[in-house]
Amino acid sequence: MSSLNKIPANSALVIIDVQNDYFTHGAYPQCQVDEALARTLHSVQRAQQQAIPIILVQHIADTTQGEAPFFNPNTQGVEIHPALLAELPNASIVVKQFADSFDGTELTHLLQDMQVKHLLLCGIMTQNCVTHTALSPAAQAYSVQVIADACTAPTQMVHHIALSALARRVALINSQDL
């Protein structure tokens, strides 16, 4: 893992899919999700201290073909976790329907408007939405770092496999490095 002494000024913290369905009473609880949330909140505080913009990404299922296993519109599970919303009541929220947070969303335009050059990514699920966003063709325009300990997956093994694969393409850091 690499280390940051200070978050670069032209950065944005992008928090992917920290939504109720991934927590204890949700439709698809993830491994050590409360610990990942705590590290995400630490990352939020560090970004706020350094005046770094923070963007929340929310997955809302496309139910035109029927109900999805989770993240269905107008459910408690689709909502962004309340602890995150309490810290970021005015954050920009990018809504997506695909694993890649850039795919079919306004994320690229939002980042361009903010003159962002460096992305700090974290969220749920490491092996899916975090990886797809970090490796997106649209992400190639940025220096990307994944905050590894502020991510989680269905199991620790899946989380570590995803991080190992990501490490070959993007830098991994920990929330304490911020």
- Taking the whole predicted model, whether its pTM rises above 0.85 is answered as yes
Give the model's pLDDT for residue 8.
85
Give the domain ranges of the chain.
Answer: 11-173
**Looking at residue 4, what is its pLDDT?**
46
pLDDT score of 7: 85
Predicted local distance difference test score (pLDDT) of residue 9: 84
Q: Rounded to an integer, what distance in angstroms lies between the CA atom of residue 11 and that of residue 96?
A: 21
Superfamily of domain 11-173 in the CATH hierarchy: Isochorismatase-like (3.40.50.850)
What does the alpha-carbon distance between residue 103 and residue 67 come to, in Å, rounded to a whole number? 21
